Amino acid sequence: MLNTKTIAELSAMLAAGECTSVDIVSDVLAAINARDGKIGAYLTLDRDDALAQAKAADAARATGTTGALLGIPVAIKDLLNVKGQPCTCGSKILEGYSAPYDATAVAKLRETGAVLLGRVNMDEFAMGSSTENSGLGKTVNPWDAERVPGGSSGGSAACVAADEAVAALGSDTGGSIRQPAAFCGCVGLKPTYGRVSRYGLTAFASSLDQIGPLAKTVKDAALLLGVVSGHDPADSTSIDVPVPDYAAALTDDLKGMKLGLPKEYFVEGMDPEVEAAVRAAVKKCEELGAEIVDVSLPNAKYAIAVYYIIATAEASANLARFDGIRYGLREDGADPIELYGKTRAAGFGPEVKRRIILGTYVLSSGYYDAYYLRAQKVRTLIRNDFIEAFKQCDAILAPVTPTPAYKIGEKTGDPLKMYLDDILTTPVNLAGNCALSVPCGFSSDGLPIGLQIIGDSFKEANILKVGHAYEQATDWHKQKPAF
Amino acid sequence: MKYEACIGLETHVMQKTQTKMFCGCKHEYGAKPNTNVCPVCLGYPGALPVMNARAIELCCKAGLLLGCGINPRSKWDRKNYFYPDMAKNYQITQADEPLCLGGQLTTEVAGETKTFTIERIHQEENAAKNTHISGASLVDYNRAGTALMEIVSNPCMHSSSDALAYMTALKQIMEYGGISDCDLEKGHMRSDVNVSVRPVGQKELGAKVEIKNMNSFGFIVEAIEYEIDRQIGVIENGGTIDQETRGYDTDRGETFSQRTKEDAHDYRYFPEPDLLPVEISAEQIEQWRSELPELPAQRRARYVSELGLPEYDAGVLTAEKAVSEFFDETCQKTKQYKLVSNYLMGKVASLVTEKEISIADSELTAETLAQVAELVAGGTISSSAANELIEVLFTEGGDPKAIVEEKGMAQVSDDSALEIWADEAIAGNPKAVEAYKAGNAASINALMGCVMKASRGKANPPAVIALLKKKLGA
Ligand SMILES: [Zn+2]
């Protein structure tokens, strides 16, 4: 079953002529046929198109083309534009929209010959932590169908964990790659802000959004990151910093590395099993040669408040374009204002509406200084905390989430409780640096637990190195959910 | 009580850029609707803006021409409002840190030199064009996202003539600076006009009334005059002026209330996260300053001092950039500056009005006009023939010398032909001959007229006079 293999393994097999891209895609499609009815990761999937891309990749290989992703199927989170495919962002308001262009990250995948597989589910416009806010479908956790896969990149994490894709692209605004990766037991990387072009990524919160990989191993995440990274003139916030060969720099030990442990990240109310697993992982890193130092991120506790002001403010403007005039859903009205009102009332789900209202409120005349402006100031403090911490260490170790995956419906009645789950992931988005989630154990219920490895800006190589060495010394990533 | 009006203008100027402000779409007038569009200017999901460097340069150059300071660091903001003319439902603009700050414009108002102060110039993107037809609205996004800058004056004008002089001078500077074509018909220049009145001597401004989106100078003048009278009338009748937005009804010549302060928009400005701040170095500013073109006032002075033209001519020629550029180009090819000036102010100007064709769109070129001046100066053709020749060159074009030949426009200076016409004139006008001989020098004009008539205007007047004088024995 080729669908269970990693990018690195499949690449080697393809290069050796032991399999074809068509074989891989066929096995992936078979897995999707067999179990996606239960998992619900995919929103749309053009099987013929996927096979045609695989054939083209095989033909390219026959003429001497090579590449780490040539012929490898990658699932795409439904908010990245792929030319000619739908891009609903998990929302009814974009039903019927067909993307007229490729996102830059997608174009880079296409150039290397990766097979752009189907579109996977997410919380509507990436707003949520459980994929329960999708307006279009229900995705469950492959480890326990009664539990959420996490979110917002829940479809991306679930399809990788269930071997319904070899790897996937997701996006992370406040933890949307790392948290579902932790819940589903796969690897997820949020790159430094500016590392991957946002062009073609439907914006939720422009100053926080980053595209990143979800994969079965750290090495696969490194391979995928290497392809999608780099400066893009079409995204003014993408930064012109050289892209190292992330995969080539991976090693098996951590000698000479200093890893920080922030006391503020072991929060009250944290599941003891999660804390135990993360502390055991820290110990393992020490055994691998790393020096563990205490660091402090004193302003991290404000991250949730700051995040829900800045993200919703930006979202309130970003989502204004979904108005029924040019594309997507339209509910007619007597005048434009009525048309907007009816279209948006019908098209957006309750969480999206809640955040648009929040964002509109915090930007309103008379409230701007108290909320938005103050939030920006605290954001600077949070960023400074990380700058200070990275003077003492090469990477920071922490949990990803306070608990393992929770039950479907458990938190939907209490949005604030759901927001608080982002407490360990949002500081990194606010600071703009990078972080990795790797599997580090299981709860007594058999649910995956994630270790968060936080790096300084553009130091993805550091966290990949730590993640890879830890992964090689453990076998959490090799465990598969039962079907 | 006496009242004083305070008027401020917020003038939107569409810049002369090849592409739009934040995408690579062509900026072109009159294209088929919705052909110059892309995911960015249509506000598609995931599309991102990228700043047009040329627009920034033009905005800063406009600032330099108006004596503004250029902000070393300015930033972008989103202005949120829902309307189908703005695809994203927010406009990218500059709220509190614009590209240019401060500045002034000096011009003449009814013979008096006045200086009007400018608060700021900021860069933004234009809206789409909405057309309302029965039962539907059509949106053309070709204009959406084109580069637009807003020049905000202080409320330093006190009459409609101040405002007219300001707008006229501003338009001239923008044209001369190559910032904008300032074609009012194409909406290249539109103004929001703020009007308030206060008792003379009072320092604080009265409540401000804004009249939005006017592109005709004439209507702006009318609206200001109406609004000043209306506000004074309200106050004198014991009423108060409320801050509001009013429209101008051009048919009735009246302003009318559109939006009061209570239902003013809350635009919820916040910094645009998709764009980096604009940083401009001192070296860059100096580079741009060194590239600034000659302004009308400088050009007028040059025409007087270097080309010896009268002040009047210099003023007329520089009123429009296109005319003065045509003049300059023609003067590269002939030294007959005054003749060229005469033709441009006279025959050419009347042809432009009569035929409704600009000089640029006519068949006349600097080269052919220069040749006309040379032909007149060399005595080959008369002034009246020159006017005829210019009309042919303006409408049909061609080689001036060939046309002179073909149409027989050359003056006749040849004595034998002139002698016949002179003898005929003397023989046919005994009274004039007698009067001339009796000392009435002006009588020679009657004889001259006969010769010119007989020659159908081709006789060379100085030669005819000389010949007649000789024959009459003077
Ligand atoms: Zn465009």
> Measured between CB atoms, which of A203, A236, A364 is closest to B268?
A364
Q: Is the pLDDT of residue B262 over 80?
A: no
Residue B12 CA, ligand 1 centroid: distance in Å: 20
- B150: helix, strand or coil: strand
Which residues of chain A neighbour B275 with C-beta distances below 8 Å? 236-237
Which one of B285, B315, B344 terminates a domain?
Answer: B285
Cβ neighbours of A316 in B, within 8 Å: 80, 268
Same domain, A399 and A355: no
Interval B357-399: pLDDT, tens: 999 999 999 999 999 999 988 888 888 889 989 999 999 999 9
Domain end call among A376, A409, A426: A376
Distance from the Cα of A268 to chain B's closest Cα (Å) equals 34
Do A118 and A154 have their domain in common?
yes
Quote the number of domains for chain B.
Answer: 3
- Distance of alpha carbon A386 from alpha carbon B198, whole angstroms: 56
Amino acid at B42: L
Instruction: Given the residues A129, A176, A238, A443, select the one marked as catalytic.
Output: A176
Q: Measured between beta carbons, which residues in chain B are less than 8 angstroms from residue A89?
A: 45
**Residue indicated by tokens 């790897």:** A167
Q: A159 and A174 share a domain?
A: yes
Kindly list the residues from chain A whose CB atom is less than 8 angstroms away from the CB atom of residue B49.
236
Is residue B428 predicted with pLDDT exceeding 60? Answer: yes
Pair (B389, B444) in one structural domain: no
The domain spanning residue A64 has which CATH number?
Answer: 3.90.1300.10
Domain identity same for B298 and B217: no
Cα of A234 from ligand 1 centre, angstroms: 12
pLDDT value at position B419? 83
Instruction: Establish if A288 belongs to a structural domain.
Output: yes
- In terms of domains, do A25 and A128 share one? yes
Q: Between A and B, how many CB-CB pairs are < 8 A?
A: 104
Question: Nearest-CA residue of chain B relative to A364?
Answer: B268
- Residue A306 and residue A291 share a domain: no
Alpha carbon A367 to its chain centroid, in Å, reads 32
- Least CB-CB distance to B268: which of A80, A99, A363? A363
Catalytic residue among A5, A77, A108, A465: A77
Whether residues A79 and B46 touch (CB distance < 8 A) is answered with yes
- What pLDDT is recorded for position A110? 96
Cα(A223)–Cα(A231) distance, rounded to whole angstroms? 17
For residues A417 and B238, give the distance between their C-alpha atoms in angstroms, rounded to a whole number: 59
Contacts of A101 in chain B (CB under 8 A): 39, 44, 47
Measured distance between the N- and C-terminal CA atoms of chain A, rounded to whole angstroms: 14
Q: How far is the CA of A212 from the centre of ligand 1 (A)?
A: 27
Residues 6+ apart with CB under 8 A from A185: A143, A161, A439, A442, A448, A450, A476, A477, A479, A481
Tokens 């997820």 belong to A188
Domain final position from A328, A353, A376: A376
Pick from A89, A100, A198: which is nearest to B48 by CB? A198
At residue B474, the pLDDT reads 56
pLDDT of A444: 97
Domain boundary among B285, B316, B336: B285
A81 lies in the same domain as A169? yes
Distance CA B372, CA B362 (A): 16
Residue A269 lies in a domain: no
Q: Render pLDDT for B94-143 as a digit per residue (tens, 0 to 9).
A: 999 999 999 999 998 998 999 999 999 999 999 999 998 888 889 999 99
**Catalytic: A77?**
yes
Range of the domain at A347: 301-376
Count of domains for chain A: 2
Q: Residue B43: list chain A partners with CB under 8 A.
A: 321, 326
Q: Which of A152, A156, A229, A238 is catalytic?
A: A152
Nearest Cα residue to A421 out of A123, A163, A125: A123
Same domain? For B223 and B353 the reply is no
Cα separation of B309 and B159, whole Å? Answer: 33
One domain for residues A100 and A245: yes
Which DSSP letter does residue B84 get?
Answer: T
Cβ separation of A100 and B275 shorter than 8 Å? Answer: no
Contact A267, A252 (CB under 8 A): no
Cβ separation A237–B44 shorter than 8 A: no
Cross-chain CB nearest to B46 (options A81, A337, A372): A81
Structure tokens at A453: 């490895």
Mark whether A280 and A204 lie in a shared domain.
Answer: yes
Q: Which of B45, B84, B266 sits opposite A365 (nearest CB)?
A: B266
Chain A residues touching B90 at Cβ < 8 A: 317, 320
Whether residues B130 and B179 fall in one domain: yes
Q: Are residues A22 and A145 in the same domain?
A: yes
Does any CB of chain B come closer than 8 Å to the CB of residue A106? no
Same domain, B274 and B391: no
| Ligand 1 centre distance from Cα of residue B33 (Å) | 13
ipTM of the complex model: 0.96
CB contact under 8 A, B80 and A317: yes
**Looking at beta carbons, which residues of chain B come within 8 Å of A81?**
44-46
pLDDT at residue A373, as a whole number: 95
Whether residues B207 and B300 share a domain: the answer is no
Taking the C-alpha atoms of residue B7 and residue B12, their distance in angstroms, rounded to an integer, is: 16
The answer to whether A152 is a known catalytic residue is yes
Length of chain A: 483
A39 plus A65 within the same structural domain = yes
Tokens of B454: 């007989």
Q: Do B48 and A236 touch (CB under 8 A)?
A: yes
Contacts of residue B44 in chain A, CB cutoff 8 Å? 81, 100-101, 321, 326-327
Distance CA B215, CA B182 (A): 10
Give A339→chain B minimum CA distance, Å.
Answer: 11
Contact list, B75 vs chain A (CB under 8 Å):
none
Same domain, B56 and B83: yes
When the pLDDT of each residue in chain B is averaged and rounded to a whole number, the result is: 93
Q: How far is A143 from chain B (nearest CA, A)?
A: 33
Same domain, B120 and B36: yes
B473: its two tokens: 């024995």
- Summarize pLDDT for B302-327 with one digit per residue, the tens: 999 999 999 999 999 998 888 999 99
Flag whether residue A94 sits within 8 Å of chain B, measured between CB atoms.
yes
The C-alpha atoms of residue B439 and residue B418 are separated, in whole angstroms, by 24
B209/chain A closest Cα distance in angstroms: 21
Whether residue B82 and residue A206 make contact (CB cut-off 8 A), yes or no, is no
What distance in Å separates residue A408's CA from the closest CA in chain B? 30
- The token pair at A191 is 């790159």
In a shared domain, residues B22 and B118: yes
CA of B84 to the centre of ligand 1 (A): 16
CA–centroid distance, residue B38 to ligand 1 (Å): 4
Whether A229 is catalytic is no
Q: Does residue A25 lie within any of the structural domains?
A: yes
Measured between CB atoms, does A33 come within 8 Å of chain B?
no
State the DSSP code for B412.
Answer: B
Same domain, B256 and B301: no
A103/B46 touch (CB, cutoff 8 Å), yes or no: yes
Asked whether residue A283 is domain-assigned, the answer is yes
Per-residue pLDDT of chain A (483 residues; tens, 9 = 90+): 999 999 999 999 999 999 999 999 999 999 999 999 999 999 999 999 999 999 999 999 999 999 889 999 999 999 999 999 999 999 999 999 999 999 999 999 999 999 999 999 999 999 999 999 999 999 999 999 999 999 999 999 999 999 999 999 999 999 999 999 999 999 999 999 999 999 999 999 999 999 999 999 999 999 999 999 999 999 999 999 999 999 998 999 999 999 999 999 987 789 999 999 999 999 999 999 999 999 999 999 999 999 999 999 999 999 999 999 999 999 999 888 999 999 999 999 999 999 999 999 999 998 999 999 999 999 999 999 999 999 999 999 999 999 999 999 999 888 877 888 899 999 999 999 999 999 999 999 999 999 999 999 999 999 999 999 999 999 999 999 998
Rounded to a whole number of angstroms, the distance from the CA of A328 to the nearest CA of chain B is: 11
Whether residue A483 lies inside any domain: the answer is: no
Residues surrounding ion ligand 1 at CB below 5 Å: B 23, 25, 38, 40-41
Among A376, A392, A423, the domain-final residue is A376
Question: In the prediction, which pLDDT does B457 show?
Answer: 76
Domain range for B424 is: 415-471
Mutate to test the interface with B, among A236, A307, A340, A369 (most CBs of B within 10 A): A236
Residue A270: inside a domain, yes or no? no
Q: Has residue A212 been placed in a domain?
A: yes
Is the CB of A237 less than 8 angstroms away from the CB of B273? Answer: yes
Interface test with A, best of B80, B137, B268, B276 (most A CBs within 10 A): B268
Phi and psi based region of residue B30 (left: phi greater than 0; alpha: psi -120 to 50; beta: remaining): left
**How far apart are the CA of B90 and the nearest CA of chain A, in angstroms?**
7
B274: which chain A residues are within 8 Å (Cβ-Cβ)? 203, 206, 236-237
Q: Residues 152 to 211 of A: which have CB under 8 A from any B CB?
A: 198-203, 205-207
State whether B272 and B299 are in the same domain.
no
Q: How many helices (H) and strands (E) does chain B have?
A: 16, 17
Same structural domain, B222 and B319: no
Q: Cβ–Cβ of B46/A201 closer than 8 Å? A: yes
In order of A141, B102, B373, B380, B381, the CA distances from B377 in angstroms are 95, 50, 6, 8, 8
What is the spatial distance between Cα A271 and Cα A255, in angstroms, rounded to a whole number? Answer: 31
* Domain boundary, last residue among B285, B306, B327: B285
Same domain, A215 and A333: no
Q: How far apart are CA A413 and CA B269, in angstroms?
A: 33
Give the chain B residue whose CA is nearest to the CA of A88. Answer: B45
Quick one: pLDDT at residue B471? Answer: 84
